[in-house]
Amino acid sequence: MTTQNDQRDAGWLGFLPPRARWGRNFKVAGGLLGISLLAGFVTAVGLLPAVAVGGISIKHAVAGFDKLPAGILDPNLQQASTVLAADGTPIASIFFQNRVSVPITKISPNMQHAIVAIEDSRFYEHHGIDLRGTFRAALSNVLGGNTQGGSTITQQYVKNMLINSATTPQQLAAAHAETLSRKIRELRLAMSVENRYSKNQILERYLNIAFFGSKSYGIEAASRRYFSKPSADLNVAEAATLAGIVQSPVQYDPILNPKSSQHRRGVVLRRMHDLGYISTWTMKKAAAIPTASLL
């Protein structure tokens, strides 16, 4: 016999068939457990008080944190070498990673805005760790079924640099390992990076190391690969296309998957619009351009 208390306890899950109800219960319970563990994890790392308590500066927050590895202090990123003819004309490029590092002043503001909008909209507000974004992404993934990332641009930079600077198979495996200790170290290093470098320096380093698909590492190589132009000259549509690639380089490759790329470009453009980087007219105009017309 079902009582009123049973019905009330069932709540919004009451309309589901028994099997679906169990599945949903497990999904929500597991997700909420994950969020609880995340909260405990952040607190254990010692970041929550540093960010949430007023009057505590970032310099105090990172006191005692990991020292930055040499690979992060001095990236020494692999770049393409150009072979010249006798008259100085470039005839070939040799590279293990196709990359040409450029200063932030040589990267189009459109590109800077696009990558911040889609990858880390609070980049200029947080100190390397965006608790609000992390919890929002975790909650959305659990309740809405959407897959959202919670890593800031600074965290992504740290992870990429640890991978790039690995010199042994063990170091490379450790950089990829899905372990609590690895995540804790990355969080601490992210705050240390924020303490040492300006936002422009971090964004520059990130854009020079990020992978944009088609063997293109860094924004300059990607811009020349897809659009045959320097990154300084990227327009809004091109910048949004490249920014969209980072999440899934194969799925959103404009050459391999033009339809998926155009859809993703639209997502980036809407975020740029919502954050005030572009007007409604610019958003609609850039979104309507066929991918083939950009390449």
Q: Read out DSSP for 206-274?
A: HHHH-B-STTBBSHHHHHHHHHSS-GGG--HHHHHHHHHHTT-TTTT-TTT-HHHHHHHHHHHHHHHHH
Residue with tokens 């990673």: 97
Tell me which of 2.40.420.20, 1.10.3720.10, 1.10.10.10, 1.10.3810.10 is the CATH number of domain 19-294. 1.10.3810.10
159-188, pLDDT tens digit by residue? 988 888 777 888 788 888 888 788 888 888
Average pLDDT, the chain: 76
Handedness of CA 240, 242, 243, 246 (dihedral sign): positive
The closest alpha carbon to 216, from 245, 241, 182, 236, belongs to 245
The answer to pTM > 0.85 is: no
The closest alpha carbon to 175, from 158, 163, 165, 188, belongs to 163
Confidence of residue 40 (pLDDT cuts 50, 70, 90): low
62-87, pLDDT tens digit by residue? 444 456 665 555 555 554 444 444 55
Two tokens, residue 236: 């809004």
User: How far is the CA of 164 from the CAs of 104, 209, 262, in angstroms?
Assistant: 20, 9, 30
Q: Are 77 and 102 in contact (CB under 8 A)?
A: no
For residue 60, the tally of other CB atoms under 10 A from its CB is: 11
State whether residue 78 is helix, strand or coil: coil
**Phi–psi pair at 91, nearest 5 degrees:** -125, -15
Query: Looking at per-residue confidence, does 224 or 61 come out higher?
Result: 224
User: What is the C-alpha to C-alpha distance for residues 246 and 23, in angstroms, rounded to an integer?
Assistant: 33
For residue 215, the tally of other CB atoms under 10 A from its CB is: 15
Q: Structural domain boundaries of the chain?
A: 19-294
98-153, pLDDT tens digit by residue? 568 999 999 999 999 999 999 999 999 999 988 877 676 666 655 654 445 568 99
State whether residue 235 is helix, strand or coil: coil
pLDDT computed for residue 22 by the predictor: 46
User: What is the C-alpha to C-alpha distance for residues 84 and 261, in angstroms, rounded to an integer?
Assistant: 35
Radius of gyration of the chain (CA): 22
Q: Are 187 and 47 in contact (CB under 8 A)?
A: yes
Query: Looking at per-residue confidence, does 201 or 89 come out higher?
Result: 201
Q: Are 295 and 262 in contact (CB under 8 A)?
A: no
Of all residues in the chain, what percent carry a pLDDT higher than 90? 46
